[in-house]
Amino acid sequence: MKLNRTMILVAGAVLAQTAVSQNTAPKIGYSDTPIIPGQKWKVHDGERPQPNIVEPGKAFSDMAPAPSDAKVLFDGSDLSQWVGENGQPAGWKVRDGYMEVSRTGGIRTRDEFGDFQLHLEFASPEEVSGNSQGRGNSGVIIFGKFEIQVLDSYDNPTYPDGQAGSMYGQFPPRVNASRKPGQWQTYDIIFEAPQWDENNKLTKKANVTVIHNGVLLHHRQEFLGYVSHRNVPTYGKQSAPTGAIHLQDHGNPVRFRNIWIRSLDHYDK
CA–CA gap between residue 85 and residue 144 (Å, rounded) = 10
Average pLDDT, the chain: 90
* Each residue's pLDDT tens digit, 148-174: 999 999 999 999 999 999 999 999 999
- Phi and psi torsions of 23, nearest 5°: -75, -25
Separation of alpha carbons 190 and 62, rounded Å: 17
Q: Taking a C-beta distance cutoff of 8 angstroms, is the pair 242, 261 a contact?
A: no
pLDDT of residue 26: 65
Task: Give the distance, in angstroms, between the CA of residue 150 and the centroid of all CA atoms in the same chain.
Answer: 3
Q: Distance between CA atoms of 268 and 247, rounded to whole angstroms?
A: 33
Reported in sequence order, the residue ranges of 47-170 that DSSP labels E, i.e. its strands, are 52-53, 71-74, 82-84, 93-95, 98-100, 107-109, 116-123, 138-142, 146-150
Do the domain assignments include residue 6? no
Greatest extent of the chain over all pairs of C-alpha atoms, in Å: 86
Task: Return the amino acid letter for 96.
Answer: D
For 238-265, the DSSP string reads PPPS-B-EEE---SS--EEEEEEEEEPP
Total domain count, the chain: 1
Q: Are 90 and 84 a contacting pair, CB within 8 Å?
A: yes
Domain containing residue 66: 31-263
Q: Are 118 and 128 in contact (CB under 8 A)?
A: no
For residue 269, is it within any domain?
no
Q: Is residue 176 part of a domain?
A: yes
Global model pTM greater than 0.75:
yes
Which pLDDT belongs to residue 7? Answer: 39
- Does any domain span residue 10? no
* Statement: residue 4 has pLDDT above 70: no
Q: Kindly report, residue by residue over 85-132, the tens digit of the pLDDT.
A: 999 999 999 999 999 999 899 999 999 999 999 999 999 998 888 889
Average pLDDT over residues 28-39: 94
**Bridge-partner residues for 30, per DSSP?**
45
DSSP state of 63: T
Residue 37 has pLDDT above 60, yes or no: yes
Is 158 domain-assigned? yes
Q: Please check the confidence at residue 2 and state whether its pLDDT lies above 80.
A: no
Top-confidence residue, 137 or 131: 137
The yes-or-no verdict on residue 18 having pLDDT over 60 is no
* Cα dihedral sign, 191-172-229-120: negative
Identify whether 26 is part of a domain: no
Contact 108, 144 (CB under 8 A): yes
**pLDDT tens digits for range 191-249:** 999 999 999 999 999 999 999 999 999 999 999 999 988 889 999 888 889 999 999 99
For residue 8, tell me if it sits in a domain: no
- Phi and psi dihedrals of 147, rounded to 5? -110, 130
CATH of the domain at 70: 2.60.120.560
CA distance linking residue 172 with residue 250, whole number of Å: 19
- 215 vs 4, more confident: 215
Asked whether residue 231 is assigned to any structural domain, the reply reads yes
pLDDT at 10: 38
Say which range, 11-15, 66-70, 128-132, 245-249, has the weakest mean pLDDT: 11-15
pLDDT at residue number 188: 98
